[in-house]
Amino acid sequence: MQKRFLAAPLLAAILALGSAPAMADVAVSEAWVRATVPAQKATGAFMQLKSDADARLLSATSPVAGVVEIHEMVMDGAVMKMNAVPGLDLPAGRTVELAPGGYHVMLMDLKQQVKEGDEVPLTLTVENKDGSRATLEVKAAARPLNAPMKMHH
């Protein structure tokens, strides 16, 4: 009798977990930001994102910046332009690179100088295919001002 009593709640818990929406597991690697000079008000954050299920990077925040947006850099004729985007798709199993000259997280209205070696906290909001959302806490190391820029065409 005792065994049946314990088995029912265990079975209910297993069934409840099985019916919960599957959250995408997003791995973040090589996160960094470009250091700034004293009066500079903006910089970029870069990283690699890999999701095990289709998802979308919706937004980012950071206590070091008043405004944080997802941006892309694109060539318009002979001019490189930067535009805010409403989100960035993270296809299942594919690494999405946020890099200088391509997609990146733009930190604007900086509250202080970002110095080489600083660790900049970022919170990324990811939306799963079913509309559920999760946040990821990231620590991005500040690299030198002359960190190489990788151009995407």
Per-residue pLDDT, 13: 46
Question: Is 3 within a domain?
Answer: no
CATH number reported for the structural domain that contains residue 119 in this entry: 2.60.40.1890
Question: Is 80 within a domain?
Answer: yes
36 is in which domain, residue-wise?
A: 23-143
Question: Is 70 within a domain?
Answer: yes
Per-residue pLDDT, 20: 45
Q: How far apart are CA 83 and CA 72, in angstroms?
A: 5
- Structurally, the chain folds into a number of domains equal to 1
Per-residue pLDDT, 22: 58
Q: How far apart are CA 100 and CA 127, in angstroms?
A: 24
- The beta-strand segments (E) located in the chain are 26-34, 42-51, 55-61, 65-76, 79-84, 88-90, 95-98, 104-110, 119-128, 133-143
Per-residue pLDDT, 146: 80
Question: Is 6 within a domain?
Answer: no
Answer left, alpha or beta for residue 8, where phi above 0 means left and psi between -120 and 50 means alpha: alpha
Question: Is 48 within a domain?
Answer: yes
Q: What is the CA radius of gyration of the chain?
A: 20
- Give per-residue pLDDT as tens, 70-121: 999 988 899 989 999 999 999 999 999 999 999 999 999 999 999 999 999 9
DSSP label at residue 23: P
CA atoms within 13 A on the CB side of 117: 0
